[in-house]
Amino acid sequence: MTGINTKNRRRRKAKNDEIPEWMVTFADMMTLLLTFFVLILSFSTTDVQRYKNVAEALQTSFGLQDLNPLSIIPADNPPQNENIIEPIKPHESTDSEESEEENQLDSIGNRLETNFTDEIEKGVIIVERDEDHIIIRFPDESAFTSGSDYLEPAVVPVLQKVGQLISEYEMFTIVGGHTDDQPINTERFRSNWDLSAARAVSVAHELTWLTDLEEEFLYVVGNADARPLVPNDTVENRIKNRRVEILLIERPDKTERDVYQGIQQSPLLR
């Protein structure tokens, strides 16, 4: 009998050894980890009642009956029935912000009127603009001596400053020379066409001298007396018609066709 009892104890012991005791602890830990990750996953779309139910179940499992299940939820920022991470909405510009944004023509026009206040007051340059163009006009008496294409020394630094300013913007730049209707025929100039073109070239040279003005978008035009500002019927009117103009047209929105139309229309911009 003793031998039989010993064999039964060995069999029972062998059966117990088939399931190690640490497996029980391991299974409990894995169950808790699974519960923990399920809880974390639920945070992405948390709802207060659902969170409360899960928290109460967890506190019962862990024996923490005194723990308030909602105590870890900030009172001033309760969970909402929506995603915690909200999509970033594009900023909608208001009318006031749009009005503050200047286009290139407005910007360069304002800077010309601000930076060349003294020159404008003295009549060295005249700045005129509308919604599509800016004209910087140099009257004949401030820029050239009679019948000459040599610039007056006082106007040279002004032209270089203008060229530097224009080079900061994307502009078509058209330099046009104009004369009155009095004919000219000298050793240097055969006609007013020659004189007006030579004066425009002199201004163009100074605009590009020591500046980054893109010559690809620079046009030089001799108009002679073909595009007067006023009728050439008085001495005063002839003086007004003798001038060099810099016509600016914004490049991104315009084409070369617009440039040629602007040359035709420039006397009307006054």
The domain that contains 221 carries what CATH number? 3.30.1330.60
β-strand 171-178 against 218-222: which pairing, if any?
A: parallel
**Distance between CA atoms of 85 and 79, rounded to whole angstroms?**
12
Looking at the fold, whether 29 and 110 belong to one and the same domain comes out as no
Q: What is the pLDDT of residue 59?
A: 67
β-strand 218-222 against 133-139: which pairing, if any?
A: unpaired
Higher pLDDT, 168 or 59: 168
CA 263 and chain centroid, separation: 30
In this predicted structure, the answer to whether residue 67 has a pLDDT above a threshold of 70 is no
Residue 69 lies in a domain: no
Looking at the fold, whether 54 and 124 belong to one and the same domain comes out as no
In this predicted structure, the answer to whether residue 60 has a pLDDT above a threshold of 80 is no
Looking at the fold, whether 126 and 260 belong to one and the same domain comes out as yes
Looking at the fold, whether 114 and 242 belong to one and the same domain comes out as yes
Mean pLDDT of the chain: 80
Looking at the fold, whether 239 and 113 belong to one and the same domain comes out as yes
DSSP state of 152: P
Q: What is the pLDDT of residue 36?
A: 79
**Distance between CA atoms of 161 and 149, rounded to whole angstroms?**
20
Looking at the fold, whether 230 and 165 belong to one and the same domain comes out as yes
Looking at the fold, whether 135 and 250 belong to one and the same domain comes out as yes
Q: What is the pLDDT of residues 196-215, one digit of tens each?
A: 999 999 999 999 998 999 99
Residue 28 lies in a domain: yes
Question: Percent of the chain at pLDDT above 90?
Answer: 51
Domain housing 27: 2-62
Higher pLDDT, 41 or 117: 117
Q: What is the pLDDT of residue 95?
A: 46
Sheet architecture: strand order including 243-250? 126-129, 133-139, 243-250, 171-178, 218-222
Q: What is the pLDDT of residue 68?
A: 53
Q: What is the pLDDT of residue 118?
A: 95
Residue 193 lies in a domain: yes
Residue 83 lies in a domain: no
Looking at the fold, whether 190 and 263 belong to one and the same domain comes out as yes
Looking at the fold, whether 235 and 182 belong to one and the same domain comes out as yes
Q: Is 105 helix (H, G, I), strand (E, B) or coil?
A: helix
Domain stops at, among 37, 62, 87 = 62
Looking at the fold, whether 111 and 240 belong to one and the same domain comes out as yes
Q: How many domains does the chain have?
A: 2
Domain stops at, among 62, 94, 114 = 62
Rg (CA), the chain: 43
Looking at the fold, whether 136 and 214 belong to one and the same domain comes out as yes
What mean pLDDT is predicted for residues 68-82? Answer: 51
Residue 181 lies in a domain: yes
**Distance between CA atoms of 266 and 263, rounded to whole angstroms?**
5
Looking at the fold, whether 25 and 137 belong to one and the same domain comes out as no
Residue 71 lies in a domain: no
Residue 82 lies in a domain: no
Under the banding of pLDDT at 50, 70 and 90, the label for residue 30 is confident
